[in-house]
Amino acid sequence: MTLIKSISGIRGTIGGATGDNLTPIDAVKFAAAYGTWLKSYSKKEKLTVVIGRDARLSGEMIQNLVVSTIIGLGIDVLDLGLSTTPTVEIAVPLEHADGGIILTASHNPKQWNALKLLNEKGEFLDGEQGKKILEIAQQGTFDFAAVDDLGSVTQNNSYMDIHVEEVLKLDLVDKGTIEKAGFKVVVDGVNSSGGIAIPKLLDALGVETVKLYCEPTGHFPHNPEPLKEHLQDICDLVIKEKADLGIVVDPDVDRLAFISNTGEMFGEEYTLVACADYVLSKTPGNTVSNLSSTRALPDITHRHGGVYAAAAVGEVNVVAKMKATRAVIGGEGNGGVIYPASHYGRDALVGTALFLMLMAEKACSVAELRASYPSYFMSKKKIQLTPDLDVDGVLETMYQKYQEEQTSTVDGLKIDFPENWVHLRKSNTEPIIRIYTEAQSQDKADALANRFIKEIQEVAGL
């Protein structure tokens, strides 16, 4: 069992020993640390925090603990109940709230849960803010409110509907265009809140929907990470139903994957590529993804006359780079679409609407659309090193070896070759270097990864 404390929040498994797992005591401690930080950061006399959760089995328990802790600090709570990560992100500025907490472990299995922390813009905290909260939690000294100064709780269970309304208000989303296309779509909601939110959106867009695992029971029917090896059921159902496509989301609905009409994966990396293709065709501009994302996005960006920029891995880093470059769309290759015209957060509802608009305008099948994009293949491996090894030194040696190539040291070491690339990233918690490669075939991507594993072993003397 595990408890992971990071600048983006606290994540862990339910049950077990305090300090080693996400126990009720740990949930209270970190909620108190966030609330304490928020009071000093905002300096307003009365604060409000928006709180929502996915459908995990532990969700209601953790939410009760967190809500009680926040009101115990004298902060009001807007309780959204069952919700999604992007829904909470949208609610914070709409409600003029001072922060938000999302209770979800994203794509992790059901034994996990987490507290994801937002600022007054509904965006994830930056590194310095997250570090300060960890320090407050470590100190463990909190000043709770007197009985007359306790916060209040207001419940609002309508925010997934409000989220859908906000998507329909976007200039690049037209209900009539999508409805006229007559799409039939299969949805895998992994028995979490996406099983409610995505069908609500599709219904509002006039799309015929076939539901698969859309009951928010928290009993995930398969590994909740939307990868090919976990999604055979929806691939089969798309073919059986003769559907135009399948839509898959993770438990908190910030990652989005598509299944083509042939029952094949569209490719998580290509979710952002397709959405960017549509947005750039209407609003030319710049794009951003992280260093480990597909080269197809810069290809499409350049095709539309825009400029592509790469950010360090992590949503907060992508958002910062998007703001700096005034990107019109960006995100991560894990199916995370960030569209600033809506908000600065990964949002599967926004991504779904943009993708359907693209499909309606292209009037082609999903399989044909995928074939129209540059075809790249990824390999993701890692190499275990000895605990006493200087990992930074190994990466520096590799940089010196390849400094004549196009390189980036923003996040580990990325080497862009003419036909492929490799990204080497060290783990912050264990002596591991993660090796990501992309090439024009799976065999070439795997071969490139294996080549770098051997080179790193030689440098490290393994």
Q: Tens digits of per-residue pLDDT, 41-61?
A: 998 889 999 999 999 999 999
Neighbours of 342 (CB within 10 A): 24
Which residues are paired to 82 by β-bridges? 53
Crossing angle of helices 442-460/391-401, nearest 10°?
120
- pLDDT value, residue 285: 98
Strands in 124-276 per DSSP E:
153-155, 184-188, 208-212, 245-249, 256-259
Distance (Å, whole) CA 215 – CA 238: 19
Distance (Å, whole) CA 79 – CA 51: 5
Distance (Å, whole) CA 172 – CA 355: 11
The burial class, CB within 10 Å (0-12 / 13-18 / 19+), for 409 is exposed
Per-residue confidence at 358, pLDDT binned at 50, 70, 90? very high
Over residues 383-392, mean pLDDT: 86
For 57-78, how does the pLDDT look when each residue is reduced to its tens digit (9 = 90+)? 999 999 999 999 999 999 999 9
DSSP 8-state symbol, 145: P
Among 436, 433, 432, which Cα is nearest to 380's? Answer: 436
Neighbours of 421 (CB within 10 A): 24
DSSP element (H, E) containing 52:
strand 48-53
Residue 178 has pLDDT above 90, yes or no: yes
Over residues 400-418, mean pLDDT: 95
Residue 430 has pLDDT above 90, yes or no: no
For 450-462, how does the pLDDT look when each residue is reduced to its tens digit (9 = 90+)? 999 999 999 988 7
Per-residue confidence at 281, pLDDT binned at 50, 70, 90? very high
Residue 366 has pLDDT above 60, yes or no: yes
Per-residue confidence at 429, pLDDT binned at 50, 70, 90? low
Residue 153 has pLDDT above 90, yes or no: yes
- pLDDT value, residue 6: 76
- pLDDT value, residue 227: 83
Residue 1 has pLDDT above 60, yes or no: no
- pLDDT value, residue 384: 86
Among 69, 278, 31, which Cα is nearest to 153's? Answer: 69
- pLDDT value, residue 390: 87
Over residues 388-407, mean pLDDT: 92
Over residues 181-200, mean pLDDT: 98
Which residues are paired to 346 by β-bridges? 338
Evaluate whether 74 touches 151 at the Cβ level (below 8 Å).
yes
Q: Which of 23-37, 209-223, 284-298, 415-429 has the lowest mean pLDDT?
A: 415-429
Residue with the larger pLDDT of the pair 174 and 427: 174
Distance (Å, whole) CA 204 – CA 283: 24
Distance (Å, whole) CA 202 – CA 263: 20
- pLDDT value, residue 460: 85
Neighbours of 417 (CB within 10 A): 13
**SS3 of residue 403 by DSSP:** coil
CA separation, residue 324 to residues 82, 203, 210, 318, 328 (Å): 34, 36, 41, 10, 11
Identify the residue whose tokens are 């894990």: 334
HEC profile for the chain? Answer: CCEEEECCEEEEEECCCECCEECHHHHHHHHHHHHHHHHHHHCCCCCEEEEEECCCCCHHHHHHHHHHHHHHCCCEEEEEEECCHHHHHHHHHHCCCCEEEEECCCCCCCCEEEEEEECCCCCECCHHHHHHHHHHHHHCCCCCCCHHHCCCEEECCCHHHHHHHHHHCCCCCCHHHHHHHCCEEEEECCCCCHHHHHHHHHHHCCCEEEEECCCCCCCCCCCCCCCHHHCHHHHHHHHHCCCCEEEEECCCCCCEEEECCCCCECCHHHHHHHHHHHHHHHCCCEEEEECCCCCHHHHHHHHCCCCEEEECCCHHHHHHHHHHHCEEEEEECCCEEECCCCCCCECHHHHHHHHHHHHHHHCCCHHHHHHCCCCCEEEEEEEECCCCCCHHHHHHHHHHHCCCCEEECCCCEEEECCCCEEEEEECCCCCEEEEEEEECCHHHHHHHHHHHHHHHHHHHCC
The burial class, CB within 10 Å (0-12 / 13-18 / 19+), for 137 is buried
Per-residue confidence at 228, pLDDT binned at 50, 70, 90? confident
